């Protein structure tokens, strides 16, 4: 059986039985990257030597029967927004093109403790601002299912890497759907944990009240293993919740008895692609055939989600990105007349168009005379959106919905129309505003062969239930077994 395309669980079993070594597994993925990444553009940097050294250390520990971590010898790609000590962390921005962090992000430390093999940093939209991975300052990432289409964003590199068989697992971040939407576009599994479940220490911030780190995998079990490794309390992140992390794998194969699946009537309105709607409704029918009860619920404030998100997130971005001033670290202009000119020129050269747009939106909404009218009002509506979900989850266990209104669109299609791009996030952003866990799982394909994902949401800290519900669907279908032909 091939190494490429195998699940993380299968690779772990084969290494434990001595059928494979971590060096063999890592070499296979590194060779795959060397062969195909020129077409896909998933990675910004690949650490071949470092990865093979890590793999050799894991093999030695396995042979010596020393205790091993949960990901012993498994290659993992890391989104280039997570700090890695001694390696550049660029956020796909010229502003941080030469930034080498002196420390690891908490989740990177967790990966190393779990004996994972870090193979490289994946491409993304600059500072995680975008839905297509076209806003990277360095390269455009292509969808492995159709190289003329976007893989989604902002974690498009991480999703494309798993989809194209260049890594069995990868890490992304999700601020408004940046894990779930690329997972849907690329036919992989993508999990956004509850806000506070995973530490944000060492994650370069976009919007601090919305950002969350999560896994990509080619099956639900792989996502469960990686989610379990990165979850848990970290005192260095004041928003990280000190609560025990259940073993997501332990009960994964146990179907949920009496599962109540909700459908929100507000999700099936004008603007939703007929193929996407048909696929989602067919997926819900699968749950019905498995004994689940299907209930319609209402999310009356869902229609305000896009407006609320595109006020709160840019406001937080405006504040967070103020630190890139050409003084402490990051890009500094080579020519300027005075201190103010140095700030302005450095930021003008270092930031791309979309980042500038969001900084300006946020700075305007936070300015005197507009703060109450925009930012404060958005926070109040955010609370109403969370209350809608709280009420819905009193009646249901998981909420099923589309991931995005359309399948993956062509690269460049929405670049001239930011509003059309923002509306592609309509089904994902509310989970971030409410702090909920969400997952995207492969659910079908369009007539032209493009993937369609199913999104499931659950109440806060119900990742175990979410993963078990996702696994029920995965066992009953074979969409996750389909692979693109590069």
Other CB atoms within 10 Å distance of the CB of residue 208: 15
Catalytic residue among 21, 22, 79, 430: 79
For this structure, is 79 an active site residue? yes
Other CB atoms within 10 Å distance of the CB of residue 148: 12
CA proximity to 451, closest of 153, 38, 222, 143: 143
Contact 237, 202 (CB under 8 A): no
Contact 5, 483 (CB under 8 A): yes
Q: What angle do CA 467, 470, 471 make, to 5 degrees?
A: 85
Catalytic residue among 21, 22, 136, 154: 154
Cα 28 to the chain's mean position, in Å? 24
φ, ψ of residue 451 in degrees (nearest 5)? -65, 150
Distance CA 5, CA 165 (A): 5
- HEC per residue, the chain: CCCCCCCHHHHHHHHHCCCCCHHHHHHHHHHHHHHHHHHHCCEEEECHHHHHHHHHHHHHHHHCCCCCCCCCCCEEEEECCECCCCCCCCCCCHHHCCCCCCCCCHHHHHHHHCCCEEEEEECCCHHHCCCCCCCCCCCCCCECCECCECCCCCCHHHHHHHHCCCCCEEEEECCCCCCHHHHHHHCCEEEECCCCCECCCCECCCCCCCCCEEEEECCHHHHHHHHHHHECCCCCCCCCCCCCCCCCCCCCCCCCCCCEEEEEHHHCCCCCCHHHHHHHHHHHHHHHHCCCEEEEECCCCHHHHHHHHHHHHHHHHHHHHHHCCCCCCCCCCCCCCCHHHHHHHHHHHHCCHHHHHHHHHHHHHHCCCCCHHHHHHHHHHHHHHHHHHHHHCCCCCEEEEECCCCCCCECCCCCCCHHHHHHCCCCCHHHHHHCCCEEEEEEEECCCCCEEEEEEEECCCCHHHHHHHHHHHHHHCCHHHCCCCC
For this structure, is 475 an active site residue? no
In sequence order, what are the residues at sequence separation of 6 or more whose Cβ sits closer than 8 angstroms to the Cβ of residue 28?
3, 4
For this structure, is 178 an active site residue? yes
Catalytic residue among 93, 131, 136, 178: 178
Which residues form the catalytic set?
Answer: 79, 154, 178
């Amino acid at each position: 059986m091939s190494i490429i395309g195998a699940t993380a669980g299968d690779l772990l079993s084969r290494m434990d039985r001595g059928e494979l070594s971590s060096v063999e597994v890592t070499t296979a993925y590194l060779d795959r990257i060397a062969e195909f990444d020129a077409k896909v553009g998933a990675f910004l940097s690949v650490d071949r030597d470092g990865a093979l050294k890590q793999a050799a250390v894991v093999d030695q520990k396995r042979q010596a029967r020393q205790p091993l971590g949960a990901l012993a010898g498994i290659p993992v790609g890391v989104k280039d927004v997570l700090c890695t000590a001694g390696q550049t962390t660029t956020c796909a921005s010229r502003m941080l093109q030469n930034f080498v962090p002196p420390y690891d992000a908490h989740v990177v430390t967790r990966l190393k403790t779990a004996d994972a093999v870090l193979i490289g940093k994946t491409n993304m939209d600059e500072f995680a601002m975008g839905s297509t991975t076209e806003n990277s300052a360095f390269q455009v990432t292509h969808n492995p299912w159709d190289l003329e289409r976007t893989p989604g964003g902002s974690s498009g590199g991480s999703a494309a890497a798993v989809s194209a068989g260049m890594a069995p697992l990868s890490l992304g971040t999700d601020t408004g759907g940046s894990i779930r939407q690329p997972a849907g576009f690329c036919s992989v599994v993508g999990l956004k944990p509850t806000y506070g479940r995973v530490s944000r220490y060492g994650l370069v911030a976009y919007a601090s009240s919305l950002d969350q780190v999560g896994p990509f995998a080619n099956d639900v079990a792989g996502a469960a293993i990686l989610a379990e490794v990165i979850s848990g309390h970290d005192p260095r992140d004041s928003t990280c919740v000190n609560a025990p992390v259940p073993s997501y794998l332990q009960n994964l194969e146990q179907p949920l008895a009496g599962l109540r699946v909700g459908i929100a009537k507000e999700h099936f309105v004008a603007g939703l692609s007929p193929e996407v709607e048909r696929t989602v409704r067919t997926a819900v029918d699968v749950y019905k055939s498995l004994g689940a009860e299907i209930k319609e619920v209402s999310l009356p404030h869902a229609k305000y989600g896009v407006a609320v998100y595109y006020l709160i997130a840019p406001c937080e971005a405006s504040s967070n990105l103020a630190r890139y001033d050409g003084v402490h670290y990051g890009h500094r202009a080579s020519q300027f007349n005075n201190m103010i000119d140095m700030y302005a020129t450095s930021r003008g050269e270092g930031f791309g168009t979309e980042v500038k747009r969001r900084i300006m939106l946020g700075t305007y909404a936070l300015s005197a005379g507009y703060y109450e009218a925009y930012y404060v009002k958005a926070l109040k509506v955010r609370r109403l959106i969370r209350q809608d979900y709280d009420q819905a989850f009193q009646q249901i266990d998981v909420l099923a919905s589309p991931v995005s209104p359309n399948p993956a669109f062509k690269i460049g299609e929405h670049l001239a129309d930011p509003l059309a791009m923002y509306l592609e996030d309509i089904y994902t952003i509310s989970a971030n505003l409410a702090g909920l866990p969400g997952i995207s799982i492969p659910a079908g394909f369009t007539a032209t062969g493009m993937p369609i994902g199913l999104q499931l949401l659950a109440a806060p800290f119900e990742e175990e239930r979410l993963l078990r519900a996702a696994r029920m669907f995965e066992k009953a279908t074979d969409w996750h077994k389909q692979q693109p032909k590069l």
